Chain A
Amino acid sequence: MADTNPIKQFEVHEVFPFEAFGLNLAFTNSSYFMMLTTGLTIVLFAVAMSSRALVPNRAQSVAEIIYGFVADMVRSTAGQEGLRFFPFVFTLFIFILVANMLGMFPYFPAPGAHSFTITSHLIVTVALAMLVWLTVIVYGVFKNGAKFLKIFVPSGVPIFILPFVTLIEIISFVSRPISHSVRLFANMLAGHILLKVFAGFIVMLAAGSASMGMGELPGYLAGVFPFAMTLGLTALEFLVAFLQAYVFAILTCIYLNDALHPGH
């Protein structure tokens, strides 16, 4: 019977063991997919934009649409000033998008022959979210100085409940990287588990009917139903993979907007 463990896909295993200063710095399948995501993005964009035609071919227009899409997103949420963060937001968006899409391959030329979704690991999404959060703080303080603290003090609040509101605002601000990272992580984790659980039912049905002495065929026939479910969920997962990259990027813009214009 094939392995039906739905969370085996999230295992990180070492490819090249490496240790330095007492730290385990092995090159893992997670590192492999991160490098692949970055490399693939660079190569695809370099190839797509290599002709630099005034009238774009298909690859170039895809690259231009992605560019325009992210630029519109930054402009509409963080204003014209926010465009200085365009490279940052674009990098985050494309990294998460490509990483999510690479995770959709069932088999992949990778260590272990299976694909791996790096965004289904909390540590990766937390690192990305903390990057955004610290950028907001550093840039907000650098640009506005003490005025940045205005985002904790909403205007028009009666003085006797102001301390409470300020405390709540601070907690709300600190909770941002958590909700920012958990959302991406949980979406990718839950979706991929669901996918593997339904796919596993097909194998289990076949094994079940074989163990009852009917052979595997009835089990595989019944397996049409979980297969249809898996098919539908795969389509949904592609939507989620794109949507979560979009949500992560747009929330980055909203948070950066606070750094650019505190007190709104």
Chain B
Amino acid sequence: MSGEDDNPRNQSRAELDELQLRIDATRGKHQQPAGKPPSSAWALGMRYGSEFFGGVLVGGVLGYVLDVFAGISPFGLIIGTMLGFAAGTLNVVRAAREISSESDGDKA
């Protein structure tokens, strides 16, 4: 046991390991706040808006295409738009969850 510690090679090895630990600790401390730019309310609103808009649009278009090809007009459009609203809401909820977990930081 004492022979191991007396070996200069092992000693420098232990020092290196300790240094690595310190580097990792510092790096972890410094990298936490990095990668989070300030988000503006305008960008946030735009995000929610486009998520919702995309869902409704895709639902409506899919329903309309179904109408044209299956000849069940207007039920495809009606049901598609309703499902699109649901999908848009789902998108907004997901976006809100991402943003809140981002701002909470370690909770994610």
Binding site for B on A (CB under 8 A): 68-69, 72-73, 76, 164, 167-169, 171-172, 174-176, 178-179, 182-183, 186-187, 236, 239-240, 242-244, 246-247, 254
Contacts and interface: CB of A to CB of B under 8 A. Distances in A.
7 tightest Cβ-Cβ pairs between the two chains A and B: A179-B54, A175-B54, A171-B87, A178-B54, A175-B58, A183-B50, A179-B50
Q: Is the interface of A mostly helix, strand, loop or mixed?
A: helix
Contacts of A183: 46-47, 50
Interface of B: 31, 34-35, 37-40, 42-43, 46-47, 50-51, 53-55, 57-59, 62, 83-84, 86-88, 90-91, 94, 98
A182 B62 contact: no
17 contacts: A168-B90, A169-B90, A171-B62, A171-B83, A172-B90, A175-B59, A175-B91, A178-B57, A179-B54, A182-B53, A182-B54, A183-B46, A186-B46, A187-B46, A243-B37, A243-B39, A246-B37
Q: Is the interface of B mostly helix, strand, loop or mixed?
A: helix
B34 A72 contact: yes
B26 to A, nearest CB: 14
Contacts of B38: 239, 243
A244 B54 CA distance: 18
